[in-house]
Structure 1
């Protein structure tokens, strides 16, 4: 999990960050991104693709990563930005905000997937990176946990949609709630065009 980082430091980079997102697919809520610079001399056990970890394990690692990392930043792009720009562009915007929030600023970014977000630093995209790079895995955990906590806040604000159960994803339950209550201010209208057209 540390091979990409070790190679980068051997090549002379001084601060390597991992970047990942959470919440591209759901019908509701902001999209989240996180950027993390892990310490060079210490491995944090258990870091992996957040989707492969239990919620309890993610929550525990969230606190450990924040405590032990050199720097981290969690950023978002809003539902309005998703609808205005499209989900891909909003996700890349959230990633740029996350990297901009790091101190010190990194000189290399390892990014999950195949899309270059357009940072002003050297960028390496890695398909499946959250399971191959510790830095990206750490970022995936921070983004996922932060977004899940945010969805619980939305659940309190809009209890009829039961956001804490489906996290905004297009489950049968979620579509049933949409049919019953309509679209809320936190739903992505561009994701729900077909429902809006039938209204």
Structure 2
């Protein structure tokens, strides 16, 4: 379970950053930056913060709302157009930078999940498996996951047939079948091989 030791070891104001959505065939990359003060969090919220993949889906929205109420949070996203133009890593860094810029205070240091550091203009420490090791990164993973899932659910209402309300843009058999039946949308990542291989004349962007 993540703890707060990495944050306290850096000193000053520290935020954790995590992203969601590098791998899907459709939809944006979403990042969150979270500055936590464990003393300000309700005990049940503090105990529940973990890697978003380990938090029950039904629990995530209320937990994300509590984090946003009791912590300082910034969120940012990068569109499919940016992903196709710049590649997914650069788009991820752009989403992280936007989340960082939207924090209400400037941190002294940043903990980022993964092994690549985005250019943020301050000290950045990468933490492989950070959402299982850092409380702030875990909180960021929950906020980003809930926000992106909600974005994909809204897109699913406008573009039914791809299963985005459940697969959130990932490459499931149902998603593939939707592309075959309805074509590729502007929300698909045309630079991703599974999608680009299906960009036949019958599956040009049409929705």
**CA–CA separation in structure 2 for the residues paired with 1:179 and 1:40:** 48
* Counterpart-to-counterpart distance in 1, 2:6 and 2:181: 48
1:48 aligns with 2:46: no
Matches within 5 A, 1:136-175: 136-175=137-176
1:6-51 CA-partner distances (Å, limit 9, x unpaired):
2122xxx2x1000000011000011100000011534522111101
Q: Tell me how many residue pairs correspond in the alignment.
A: 194
Determine the structure 1 residue equivalent to 2:196. 193
SS state at 1:187 partner: coil
> Gaps spanning 5+ residues in structure 2: where?
203-207
Q: Which runs of 4+ in 1 moved over 2 A?
A: 40-43
State the shift of 1:198 in Å: 7.8
C-alpha distance in 1 between matches for 2:37 and 2:191: 40
Q: Which residue of 1 aligns with 2:32?
A: 34
Counterpart CA distance in 1 for 2:63 and 2:6 is 21
Alpha-carbon distance between aligned partners in 2 of 1:115 and 1:72, rounded to the nearest angstrom: 22
* TM-score normalised over the length of structure 2: 0.90
Instruction: Name the residue aligned to 1:67.
Output: 69
**Which residue in 1 is equivalent to 2:106?**
105
Task: Work out the CA distance in 2 between the residues paired with 1:30 and 1:60.
Answer: 22
Alpha-carbon distance, 1:162 to partner:
2.0
- SS of 1:17's partner is strand
* Equivalent residue, structure 2, for 1:24: 22
- Secondary structure of the equivalent of 2:47? coil
Task: Look up the SS of the partner of 2:49 in the other structure.
Answer: coil
CA distance in 2, matches of 1:41, 1:156: 40
User: Shift of the alpha carbon at 1:173?
Assistant: 0.7
Q: Please give the secondary structure, in 2, of the residue aligned with 1:148.
A: helix
**Counterpart of 2:205?**
none
- Deviation of 1:139 (Å): 0.4
Provide Cα deviations, 1:136-188, integer angstroms capped at 9, x if missing partner: 00000000000000010001110122210211000011001111111011111
What are the ranges of 5 or more consecutive residues in structure 1 without an aligned counterpart? none
CA distance in 1, matches of 2:201, 2:7: 50
